[in-house]
Amino acid sequence: MSLRLYDTAARAVRDFTPLRAGQASVYVCGLTVQGPPHVGHVRAALVFDVLRSWLERGHDLDVTLVRNVTDIDDKILARAADAGVPWWAWAYTNELACTRAYDVLGVRPPTYEPRATGHVPDMVELVERLVERGHAYAVDGDVYFDVRSFPEYGALTRQRLEDLEPAADTDTDERKRDPRDFALWKAHKPGEPDTAAWPTPWGRGRPGWHLECSAMAERYLGPDFDVHGGGLDLRFPHHENEQAQSRAAGDGFARYWLHNGWVTLGGEKMSKSLGNTALVDEVVRRVRPVELRYYLVAPHYRSTIEFTDTALAEAGAAYRRVEAFVQRAAERVGAEHPAGLPEAFRAALDDDLGTPAAVAVVHDTVRVGNTALADGDDTATAAALGAVRAMLAVLGLDPLDPRWAGGGGDRLAEVTDGLVRLALDQRQAARARKDYAAADALRDQLTALGVQVEDTPQGPRWELTR
188 marked as binding residue: no
Q: Which domain holds residue 416?
A: 410-464
The pLDDT assigned to 268 comes to 77
98 marked as binding residue: no
Total number of residues shown for the chain: 466
Q: Same domain, yes or no, for 60 and 167? A: yes
Q: Same domain, yes or no, for 145 and 73? A: yes
C-alpha to C-alpha distances, 276 to 30, 232, 272, 299, 305, nearest whole angstrom? 21, 18, 7, 21, 14
pLDDT tens, N- to C-terminus, the chain (466 residues): 599 999 999 999 999 999 999 999 999 999 999 999 999 999 999 999 999 999 999 999 999 999 999 999 999 999 999 999 999 999 999 999 999 999 999 999 999 999 999 999 999 999 999 999 999 999 999 999 999 999 999 999 999 998 887 766 545 568 899 999 999 999 999 999 999 999 999 999 999 999 999 999 999 999 999 999 999 999 999 999 999 999 999 999 999 999 999 999 887 777 766 565 789 999 999 999 999 999 999 999 999 999 999 999 999 999 999 999 999 999 999 999 989 999 999 999 999 999 999 999 999 999 999 999 999 999 999 999 999 999 999 999 999 999 997 544 444 445 566 677 777 877 877 787 877 887 787 788 788 777 877 776 657 767 665 5
Q: Same domain, yes or no, for 359 and 295? A: yes
Q: Of the candidates 21, 449, 202, which has an alpha carbon nearest to the alpha carbon of residue 463? A: 449
Domain boundary among 363, 395, 427: 395
**Does 336 map to a domain?**
yes
The pLDDT assigned to 292 comes to 97
Task: Please give the angle made by the CA atoms of 7, 225 and 20, to the nearest 5 degrees.
Answer: 105
Does residue 369 contact residue 377 with C-beta atoms inside 8 Å? no
Q: Of the candidates 423, 338, 351, which has an alpha carbon nearest to the alpha carbon of residue 382? A: 338
Domain boundary among 346, 362, 395: 395
**Does 232 map to a domain?**
yes
CA dihedral 402, 115, 9, 345 (to 10 degrees): -10
Q: Same domain, yes or no, for 421 and 344? A: no
213 marked as binding residue: yes
29 marked as binding residue: yes
Q: Same domain, yes or no, for 103 and 219? A: yes
| CATH code, 72 | 3.40.50.620
Domain boundary among 395, 425, 456: 395
Q: Same domain, yes or no, for 310 and 433? A: no
The pLDDT assigned to 167 comes to 62
**Does 64 map to a domain?**
yes
Q: Same domain, yes or no, for 119 and 192? A: yes
Q: Which helix (H) or strand (E) holds 318?
A: helix 309-333
Q: Same domain, yes or no, for 216 and 364? A: no
Q: Of the candidates 180, 46, 51, 66, which has an alpha carbon nearest to the alpha carbon of residue 114? A: 66
How many domains does the chain fold into? 3
238 marked as binding residue: yes
The pLDDT assigned to 273 comes to 60
Q: Same domain, yes or no, for 388 and 420? A: no
**Does 404 map to a domain?**
no
| CATH code, 324 | 1.20.120.640
**Does 266 map to a domain?**
no
**Does 270 map to a domain?**
no
The pLDDT assigned to 435 comes to 72
Q: Same domain, yes or no, for 190 and 326? A: no
Q: Same domain, yes or no, for 39 and 88? A: yes
Predicted TM-score of the model (pTM): 0.86
**Does 154 map to a domain?**
yes
Compute φ and ψ for 141, nearest 5 degrees: 90, -15
Q: Same domain, yes or no, for 310 and 225? A: no
Q: How many CB atoms sit inside 10 A of residue 325's CB?
A: 25
**Does 275 map to a domain?**
no
Q: Concatenated DSSP letters for 49-94?
A: HHHHHHHHHTT--EEEEEE-BB--SHHHHHHHHHHTS-HHHHHHHH
